[in-house]
């Protein structure tokens, strides 16, 4: 199949059970988004590439979901790297769900020493990848016309300063670094001849102001005028208020001031599949206990989350 461009798809976070406070049929909603992306790639003759965190849980995924993903991805075989949610440990293992897709031939996993090379719009193109926890190359020697690098890292870029660690710098031989992991679209950072692009993700997992303001989109790279050009394409999605439970607020002002009570109210009203109510409740209330008590409560909570 000939290609006219590339389509980078950020962090689907697909799961057979709804994470966080999603109130809709989350598995179907995200599968439909991914299906739309791949259909768009096929129609526009774009090479699809997944920026990590295809899965929200590394192993706790129903067989029907894996089967549907294999059927969905196999015709185009998207390029992929793994994100922190794709692996139970710091590196991918055979019993991680992403390994099942790779073994089936439905996706092509990339690494620094295993890039994809091919012709796109009559240009020689290399697409490499550095998955979660792996290092980026300091430079890349190639005779290709363009080199793109997929990553899944905490970039220190405007809008993500509170979590960022890796500061963008020029990577000679690499035209652009396309980063997943960060769930909101941020301005491109230019470091010498290397562009650092953060397209954001296609799924909205957590309930919050940043998510409310985020528009799910994918990054399309086109080749023309002897260069490459980025374009963000909005992915069809529901309104924030239609896919998330509204946060429960206690009418009594005295009660509302109590984090403990407000947490209980939320947990009672929202019995989410992922235990998000319990997680939020603990994050609000654990700091008031002694450290040894916190440790024991966290152990019990971990048993609940994994049950």
Termini Cα distance of the chain: 45
pLDDT band at 205 (very low <50, low <70, confident <90, very high): confident
Structure tokens at 19: 């994470």
Task: Give 85-119 pLDDT, tens digit per residue.
Answer: 999 998 999 999 999 999 999 999 999 899 999 99
* Pairwise pLDDT comparison (258 vs 111), residue with the higher score: 111
pLDDT band at 278 (very low <50, low <70, confident <90, very high): low
CA 253 – CA 283 distance, rounded (Å): 21
Q: Is residue 297 over pLDDT 90?
A: no
Q: Is residue 284 over pLDDT 90?
A: no
120 in Cβ contact with 224 (< 8 Å): no
pTM as predicted: 0.82
- Looking up tokens 């002002």 gives 253
Q: What average pLDDT does this structure show over 262-291?
A: 63
Cβ neighbour number for residue 204 with a 10 Å cutoff: 25
Structure tokens at 272: 């989410």
18 in Cβ contact with 226 (< 8 Å): no
Q: What average pLDDT does this structure show over 77-91?
A: 95
pLDDT band at 305 (very low <50, low <70, confident <90, very high): low
Q: Is residue 285 over pLDDT 80?
A: no
Going across the sheet that includes 176-179, the strands are: 116-120, 123-130, 146-151, 176-179, 194-198, 186-191
Region of poorest pLDDT, from 4-8, 55-59, 197-201, 262-266: 262-266
Task: Give the pLDDT of residue 256.
Answer: 45
CA 216 – CA 213 distance, rounded (Å): 10
190 in Cβ contact with 232 (< 8 Å): no
* Pairwise pLDDT comparison (264 vs 13), residue with the higher score: 13
**Mean pLDDT for all residues in the chain:** 88
Domains of the chain: 5-234 (3.60.21.10), 248-305 (no CATH)
């Amino acid at each position: 199949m000939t290609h006219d461009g590339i389509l980078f798809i950020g962090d689907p976070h697909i799961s057979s059970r709804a994470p966080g406070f999603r109130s809709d049929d989350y598995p179907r909603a995200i599968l439909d988004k991914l299906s739309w992306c791949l259909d768009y790639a096929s129609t526009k003759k774009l090479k699809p590439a997944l920026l990590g965190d295809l899965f929200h849980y590394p192993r706790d995924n129903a067989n029907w979901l894996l089967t549907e993903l294999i059927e969905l991805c196999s015709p185009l075989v998207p390029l992929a790297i793994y994100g922190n949610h794709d692996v139970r440990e710091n590196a991918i293992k055979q019993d991680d769900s992403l390994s099942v897709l790779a073994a089936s031939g439905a996706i092509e996993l990339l690494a620094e020493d295993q890039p994809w090379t091919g012709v796109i719009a009559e240009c020689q193109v290399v697409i490499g990848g550095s998955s979660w926890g792996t290092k980026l190359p300091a430079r890349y020697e190639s005779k290709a016309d363009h080199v793109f690098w997929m990553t899944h890292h905490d970039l220190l870029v405007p809008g993500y300063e509170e979590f960022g660690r890796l500061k963008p710098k020029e990577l000679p031989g690499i035209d652009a670094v396309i980063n997943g992991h960060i769930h909101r679209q941020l301005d491109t950072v230019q470091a010498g001849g290397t562009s650092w692009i953060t397209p954001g993700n296609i799924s909205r997992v957590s309930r919050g102001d940043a998510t409310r303001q985020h528009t799910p989109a994918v990054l399309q790279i086109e080749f023309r005028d002897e260069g490459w050009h980025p374009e963000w394409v909005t992915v069809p999605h529901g309104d924030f208020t239609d896919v998330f439970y509204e946060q429960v607020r206690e009418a009594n002002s005295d009660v509302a001031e109590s984090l403990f009570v407000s947490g209980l109210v939320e947990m009672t009203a929202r019995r989410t599949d992922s235990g998000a109510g319990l997680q939020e409740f603990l994050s609000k209330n654990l700091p008031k206990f002694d450290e040894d008590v916190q440790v024991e409560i966290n152990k019990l909570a971990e048993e609940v989350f994994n049950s």
